[in-house]
Amino acid sequence: MNEPVRIEDLKPPAEPYLLKEEQLAHYEKAYRSDYQAWAQVLGENVERIRRGSYSLHWMNTDGGNWGKRAKPSSRGLTYTDINRVRGYGDIPAQADWKNFAPRGSIREPYRDRMPVVDDYIVTSRDELWADNVITLYEEAKARQWNATKDIPWDELEALPEDLEKATCQLCTFLTEVEFVAGDFPAKWLYRTPQDFLEVKSFLATQLMDEARHQEVFRKRAIAGGGLLHASPGFEWALKAILDAPSHTMGTFLLNLLGEGLVLSVFRAGEMIAKTQVDKEIFRRCLQDEARHVSYGVLELKNYLATHPDRERGVEEMHRFADVGEQVILTAFTESALVEPVAVLLGGGLKQIDKGMEGLGHMWRVFIEEYLQRCKAAGFDRQDRCTIPLDLPWGIAA
């Protein structure tokens, strides 16, 4: 018989999310302490309105870039086209406008009266710039797709249970990955000042891409049987990416290493996907992921090429890689990833050993591509790579 519930054992209900009095008081206090600055603006404007006069200072073009009209190119009007207009395309090496004033606007006269957004900490161009970022942004916009409508969901065939479970487990893993792939650019997007607007725009597309990937894999799992197991091995890897102390380090971990691995998985989509629907999902995600990897490689290349002490920069990269490779190894030895992929590659649970051989091949391709990417970014990892070129789990070796 159940013990009677005693009133003193009952836990208080979870607190609903409510704005706490201290939080509100802190916010009010902060604005009151800045009151002098903005009350002056308010006072001047009110006074002018009382006098019944207009300011019209905004029609004065001194110190601005007025009158030079941007011309579209064959693709339309891109950031590259407007950046050609003198006064708008100079991307500063150091951003010192920590507010929302647009690059190229008449903003200097107001500098001292502007608020400061303390969260804008990525103020060095070479912590995030990549020469392909504008092109990738254009491509990202042109290739957006809709996980609700563009996947032929009504054609999804039921698979034998082993293949269905393997597919759904892989989708569960990918869902976990896609969350961090979205949270990472989100974390840095809001820390990036407006002067790097091209990068901010690109990161926003990456966010949208990752939201759609999370969506499509979640839908695929639930349409095929259900989500299966979450996995600690991935979780540590994903947290390491999110916790990276700089944008460059995180870009190495996410874009070059993590997404590089995901790209290899998607590229094997023809062999892993067991239905046309799955093939279509992998094909579409592959295109998106290729952009993210491409940004990462050129961002790191730019970082090293402009580093004031290149040798130190390269050494930093190796330190990132020492952590990152172990993180990837932790993820890629997880049975909740390795085994379903092997089942899919082999064509069924009975052929899991054969699938492991295929996986061994995939692993080698992945490491080779990873090492090539490091080289393309400007640091040679060939002799320092800490993960084995052959299967790290040694079953089929």
Would you tell me which residues interact with Fe ion (CB under 5 A)?
A: 178, 181, 210, 213, 259, 289, 292
Rounded-to-integer distance, Cα 260 and Cα 290, Å: 8
Per DSSP, 258 falls in state I
3-state DSSP assignment of residue 288: helix
**What CA–CA distance (Å, rounded) separates 389 from 302?**
28
Distance, in Å, from the CA atom of 50 to the CA atom of 314, rounded to the nearest integer, reads: 62
Residue reference for tokens 């979780």 = 235
**340, 341, 346, 348 alpha-carbon torsion, rounded to 10°:** 20
Residue closer to Fe ion (CB basis): 176 or 316: 176
Complex with Fe ion: residue 162 or 210, whichever CB lies closer: 210
Task: Rank residues 168 and 174 by Cβ distance to Fe ion and give the closer one.
Answer: 174
Q: How far is the CB of 266 from Fe ion (least distance, A)?
A: 9
Would you put residue 42 in left (φ > 0), alpha (ψ -120 to 50) or beta?
A: alpha
The residue (of 200 and 292) whose beta carbon lies closer to Fe ion is 292
Closer CB to Fe ion, 213 or 373, in the complex: 213
**Residue 145 main-chain phi, psi, to 5 deg:** -140, 170
d(CA 118, CA 239): 24
Least separation in angstroms between CB 181 and Fe ion: 4
Give least dist CB 221 to Fe ion, A: 15
State in angstroms the smallest separation of the CB of 249 from Fe ion.
Answer: 17
**Smallest distance from Fe ion to CB 270, Å:** 19
Least distance between Fe ion and beta carbon 250 (Å): 13
Query: In the complex with Fe ion, which residue's Cβ is closer, 164 or 289?
Result: 289
Name the one residue in this structure whose structure tokens are 């990462």.
Answer: 296
